[in-house]
Structure 1
Amino acid sequence: MQATRSRTLELVEGLDQSTLDWEGPDGLDNPIGTLLYHIALAEMSWLYLDILEETFPPEVKDDFKFDMVDSQNEITRVANVSLEEHLGRLARSRSLFLNAFHKITLDDWRRSRNPEDVEYKVTPEWAVFHLVEHEAGHAFQISSIKRRAHRFLR
Structure 2
Amino acid sequence: MGAVLDLDAALVEGLCRMGDSTLVLGHRVSEWCGHAPVLEEDIALANTALDLIGQTQMWLGLAGDVEGRGRSADDLAFHRDVWEFRNLLLVERPNGDFGHTLMRQFLFDAWHQPMLAGLAQSQDARIAEISAKAGKEVAYHLERSADLVIRLGDGSDESHARMQTA
Pair member with larger Rg: 2
Which structure has more relative contact order (CA 8 Å, sep 6+)? It is 1
Q: Which has the higher helix share?
A: 2
TM more than 0.5: no
**TM-score between both structures, scaled by the size of structure 2:** 0.33
